[in-house]
C-alpha cells in the first residue's frame, strides 16, 4: 500500500493482563481492557473520519490513518481533538513512506492485527510480529530478514517497494544457498525454546521435548521453565542427539546429518 500519510497513534494500556503466567494478571481485567479499547478506537476513528481521514488499520492501542496531502500539523490537531473528546492521552508517532500489514494464514484477505513492518519518513524501521522480533528465532533467519528489510527500506513509496522485491528475494536465495551448502556458521543455526513441562510429561514429540529428552538421557537435567538450545541439521523424522556441556558452539564443524546437538540453560 502507498498511503500519502499514515499515523500511528498509540497508548499502552493492556500490558500482560491476559498472560497466564503474569503475577498480577487476570483474564477478566484483560477482557474489560480490550472492550474499553475497542470503544475508544471506534470513537477515535469516527472523529478522524469526520475530518476526512481514512482508517487503514487499528488495534487496541494504535491506529493508522491516511489522508491525501495532509500535513503533520493536521495530524497533531486531530490528536488534540481525540484527546479532548475521549480524555485519553494520545501521541503522534510519525508518517510512513510505506507500510506492510501481513495477511492472515487462515484468511489471506485479512491482515493480522499485530504483524507489520514499515519505514518512517526519517528512514527508521518499525517492525512488529515477524521472526526478526522473536526471541527464539535463529540468527540465520534474523540476519536474512534484517538484510531483506535493509533492501526494501530504500523504497520511498509502494511502487519502489514492489520494484525492490526481486532484489530482496535474491538476498534470501543467497542465504538458502549458504545453508544448503553447509557454509552457515553453527552459531547462527541455534534454536532456543523454553520447555513448559518436564521431558517425560510431553505427549507430542515437539523439538524442544526431544532435545530435553536427549539431554536427560545423556546425564543432564532439565525441567519445566528451562530453555533448551539445539541445532537441527537433517530431517525431522529421525533425530539423534548428543549432550553439549555448554551453550557455546564455536569451533565445532557442521554436524552429521540427522544429528541434534543441544544444551540446556536456566532462565
Any idea where the domains of the chain sit in the sequence?
Answer: 1-94, 186-265
**Is the predicted pLDDT of residue 6 greater than 60, yes or no?**
no
- Among 50-59, 93-102, 219-228, 232-241, name the one with the lowest average pLDDT: 232-241
pLDDT for the residue 206: 81
Mean pLDDT of 188-194: 87
**Is the predicted pLDDT of residue 46 greater than 60, yes or no?**
yes
pLDDT band at 248; cut points 50, 70, 90: very low
Spatial separation of the C-alpha atoms in residues 260 and 258, rounded to whole Å: 7
The mean pLDDT of the chain is 78
pLDDT for the residue 233: 67
pLDDT for the residue 262: 34
pLDDT band at 141; cut points 50, 70, 90: very high
pLDDT for the residue 54: 94
Name the pTM for this structure: 0.73
**Is the predicted pLDDT of residue 92 greater than 80, yes or no?**
yes
Mean pLDDT of 207-229: 82
Pick the CATH number of 1-94 from 3.40.50.10710, 3.30.160.40, 1.10.287.610, 3.90.1600.10: 3.90.1600.10
Q: Given this structure, which CATH class describes domain 186-265? A: alpha beta
**Is the predicted pLDDT of residue 222 greater than 70, yes or no?**
yes
DSSP the chain: ---S----EE----TTTT-TT-TT--HHHHHHHHHHHHHHHHHHHHHHHHTT-EEEEEETTEEEEE-TT--HHHHHHHHHHHHHHHT---EE---EEEEEEEEPSS-TTSEEEEEEEEEETTS-EEEESSGGG-TT--HHHHHHHHHHHHHHTT-SSHHHHHHHHHHHHHHHHHHHHHHHTT-S-GGGG-EEEE-SS-GGG-SS--HHHHHHHHHHHTT----TT-EEEEEE-S-TTS-EEEE-SSS--TTPPPPPTTEEEEEEE--
Mean pLDDT of 210-226: 81
pLDDT band at 93; cut points 50, 70, 90: very high
**Most confidently modeled range among 1-10, 166-175, 200-209, 237-246:** 166-175
pLDDT for the residue 175: 95
Amino acid at each position: 500500500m502507498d498511503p500519502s500519510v499514515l499515523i500511528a497513534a498509540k497508548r499502552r494500556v493492556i500490558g500482560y493482563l491476559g498472560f497466564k503466567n503474569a503475577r498480577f494478571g487476570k483474564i477478566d481485567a484483560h477482557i474489560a481492557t480490550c472492550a474499553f479499547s475497542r470503544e475508544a478506537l471506534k470513537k477515535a476513528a469516527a472523529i478522524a473520519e469526520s475530518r476526512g481521514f481514512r482508517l487503514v488499520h487499528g488495534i487496541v492501542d494504535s491506529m493508522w490513518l491516511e489522508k491525501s496531502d495532509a500535513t503533520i500539523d493536521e495530524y497533531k490537531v486531530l490528536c488534540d481533538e481525540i484527546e479532548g473528546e475521549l480524555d485519553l492521552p494520545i501521541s503522534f508517532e510519525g508518517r510512513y513512506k510505506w507500510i506492510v500489514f501481513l495477511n492472515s494464514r487462515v484468511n489471506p484477505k485479512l491482515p493480522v492485527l499485530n504483524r507489520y513492518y514499515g519505514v518512517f519518513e526519517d528512514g527508521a524501521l518499525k517492525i512488529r510480529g515477524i521472526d526478526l522480533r522473536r526471541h527464539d528465532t535463529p540468527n540465520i533467519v534474523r540476519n536474512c530478514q534484517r538484510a531483506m528489510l535493509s533492501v526494501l527500506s530504500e523504497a520511498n513509496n509502494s511502487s519502489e517497494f514492489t520494484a525492490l522485491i526481486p532484489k530482496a528475494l535474491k538476498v534470501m536465495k543467497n542465504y538458502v544457498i549458504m545453508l544448503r551448502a553447509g557454509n552457515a556458521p553453527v552459531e547462527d543455526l541455534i534454536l532456543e525454546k523454553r520447555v513448559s513441562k518436564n521431558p517425560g510429561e510431553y505427549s507430542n514429540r515437539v523439538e524442544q521435548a526431544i532435545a530435553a529428552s536427549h539431554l536427560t538421557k545423556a546425564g543432564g537435567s532439565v525441567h519445566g521453565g528451562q530453555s533448551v538450545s539445539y541445532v537441527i541439521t537433517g530431517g525431522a523424522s529421525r533425530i539423534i542427539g548428543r549432550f553439549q556441556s555448554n551453550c557455546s558452539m564455536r569451533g565445532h564443524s557442521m554436524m552429521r546429518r540427522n544429528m541434534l546437538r543441544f544444551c540446556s540453560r536456566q532462565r
